[in-house]
Structures are given as structure tokens and as C-alpha cells.
Amino acid sequence: MKPEDIVRSGPNQYICKEGIAKELPGLLETFRKPVIVTGIKSYQAFSDYSGGSSWDVIQHKGYCSPEAVRKVCEQAADADVIIGIGGGTILDLAKAAADRLDIEAVMVPSIAGTCAASTPLSVIYDESGNFIRVDYHKRSSYLTLVDPLFLLSSPIEYMKSGIGDTLAKWYEAEAVIRNTEEAAPLMAQAGLRQAEYIRNLLLRYSEAAVGSMEKGELSVPFIHTAETIIMLAGTVGGYGGRLCRMAGAHAVHNGLSFLQETHQVLHGQKVAYGILVQLALENRRPEIEELLPFYRRLGFPVSLCDLGILDNHEEAKRRIASHACRAEESLCLMGQYREKDVSAAIESLESAQKTG
């Protein structure tokens, strides 16, 4: 059986508590040789907050690529647990290395940007940032820690990106299950209901959460939004598997990753745009209109120009559509679409912005 077909609701242990990141040594005292995998800025933030660590530290800059995984495995060959401290790229890298070394992984997200801390998979890119594949791992993380105080001072744009990425859970899972001929398994239905709950939470709390970060004040909306992004989002695919993981929005994101202009645009921002393309592809205009005010208040992209693609729109549409319609892409889980269908969906969004 493939790892992605096994129901795994999340990490083996999960703690959300103010100050919990400072308790990490005590939580891992049974391990002989912990090694930290982190980024330069992430580890600086962690050190400033917690006082640092005496464990070996591997710092990485760049993408979660096959070469990066190989290098971490080489440097952490004697470790019995890898601790990922950072954003989605770092956490994916830590999980991939731990899986290859067949040791435990601990996740300490430094931003509320993705559900990487609660999912047993890694998204793999090449050294230039082009999407390659998704690797599914043999086990879930040993422990995931969410420290609201640590996250509160993280860059706001990453929280916004996390909101966009997590919002896609409902739209993608609903589209896949609605277009699946056989009845969805009970656990997939549970994943779908969780995705709906997540959407409702985000639409209710996201703006107040961003406001809390701007003021530097811990609040219930901030904690709820952070936990929704980091923990609840991972349970959707954990329950529903391929029926509840990715569909049109992420296929569009993957296509956008091949455009150099978008390499500085955060993952969740591209996924948020992908939601609109997916809805346009399905001719669900009322749902687009429902989302647009929310998008504008949070500064989400609603056009190619918003993504930094200022010219050559025809070529951009062609490349996005060409990748999104590949046989191995997640768009096919929603039904049969052609490149011209995706291009037309993108064009409909462009036209709406010009007339709106």
C-alpha cells in the first residue's frame, strides 16, 4: 500500500501552548543525538525567543530539493531525531531527511504559513524553484509544537500566505469529491467536513488575526487562525488522502512556479489565485464574487499582474495551462480539462478585473 493511501490524521503528538518552544529540550530528553535543520532567519528568531540550543544546527538556504535532502542526510547521519525549525520549506526538508534516515522528525514552525508541520509529506522542487513532485513519508512527525508567542512576531505576509493556502482545502476537496463517480469513503467525507469548518474559521477570524499581528497583541482570533493553518489543515488530507489534498488551485500554483516572475510570490498567495482559476474553470462565478472582497482586504492576488506577471500574458497563460493539465497533475482529479479551458478561465479573471 502506498503511504499516501494510509489515513494519518496528523502528528503523533501536538502541543499548542504559549512558551512551549522554550521547553523543547525537556520534551526530547529521551533522544541521544538531536539535530536541528533550520534557516538563517528562522534560527535567529528561535534563538532570540528561546535562548538557542546546544544541539548541532544545519542551516539551509534555498528550496527543498533532492540535493538539499542529500546534503542534510549526509550532515545528520548520526542523528536519531531531526528538529525542523522554520517555514514550510525547512519543515519539508527536515521531514524528507528524517524519512530517508528512518528517524523521528519534530516540527517547530516559525511562521503560520503552511500545514507542513502536520503532514507526512514533502513538496520537492529543483534548485531553481520549479516544482518536481510530492514525496509521501513512512511516518508522521513525532511531535509538533505551536507556540503562539513565538509566531506572533513572525512576518505578517507569511500568515496571509497561510490563510490563502489553507482556504484552498475546502474548494479543492469539494471539487474532487463532487466529481468522483464512486461514493467517497467515510474518512474522505470527514476530511471534507473538516475543510468546510476550516473555511468558515478563516473567513471569520483571519482579518482579526492579521490585526493582532499588526498590534503585536495575542488574541483568540490569532491563535485560532494559526492553529487552523498549521494543524487543522493537515487533517483534511490526513483523513481524505488524495480526495482531499490537492486539485485545481495547487495545479495552477505548480504551473505558476515555472514562471520566473512568480518566484518571489509566496506559496499561499499563488494557491489563493489558483482558487479563483479553479472556480472560473468550473464556471462558479457567484463563489468568486463572494471571495473577492475578502481577497482585496487581505491583499491576495486576483490577476496575473498581481503575481508580478506584467507582460507576455498569452505565453504565461499557455505555460500555466500546459503544466496544470499534465496527466500527473492534481487538476485531473476534478475531471477532464484541456489547456484551452484553463487559459480561458485565467482570461475570464483578467477580463473581470478590467471591467470591474
Q: Give the annotated binding-site residues.
A: 88-92, 119, 121, 125, 165, 250, 267
* Binding positions for NAD(+): 88-92, 119, 121, 125
> Which one from 60, 137, 224, 253 is the annotated catalytic residue?
253
CA dihedral 289, 175, 341, 114 (to 10 degrees): 80
Annotated binding site for glycerol: 165, 250, 267
Closest C-alpha to 92, from 61, 127, 132, 120: 120
From the list 250, 263, 313, 341, the catalytic residue is 250
Contacts of 117 (CB under 8 A, 6+ apart): 11, 84, 91, 107, 108, 109, 141, 144, 146, 230, 231, 234
Q: Rounded to an integer, what distance in angstroms lies between the CA atom of residue 334 and that of residue 352?
A: 24
Q: How far apart are CA 26 and CA 53, in angstroms?
A: 12
Asked if 267 is an active-site residue, the reply is yes
Cα torsion angle, 330, 336, 339, 341, sign: negative
For 216-258, what is the HEC assignment? CCCCHHHHHHHHHHHHHHHHHHHHHHHHHCCCHHHHHHHHHCC
Which of 99, 135, 147, 165 is an active site residue? 165
Q: Cα(142)–Cα(127) distance, rounded to whole angstroms?
A: 28
CB 146 within 8 A of CB 226: yes
224 belongs to the catalytic site: no
User: Is 60 noted as a catalytic residue in this protein?
Assistant: no
Give the integer Cα–Cα distance in Å for 232 and 238.
10
53 φ/ψ angles, rounded to the nearest 5 degrees: -150, 155
Given the residues 60, 137, 224, 267, select the one marked as catalytic.
Answer: 267
Q: Which residues contact residue 329 at a Cβ distance below 8 angstroms, ignoring those fewer than 6 apart? A: 251, 254, 323
How far apart, in whole angstroms, are the C-alpha atoms of residue 130 and residue 140? 26
Classify each residue of 311-342 as buried b or exposed e, where b means 16 or more C-beta atoms within 10 Å of its C-beta.
eeeeebbbbbbebbbeeebbbbbbbebebebb
Dump strand ranges (E) for the chain: 14-16, 34-38, 56-59, 81-86, 104-109, 121-125, 131-136, 143-146
Which residue numbers are catalytic? 165, 250, 253, 267
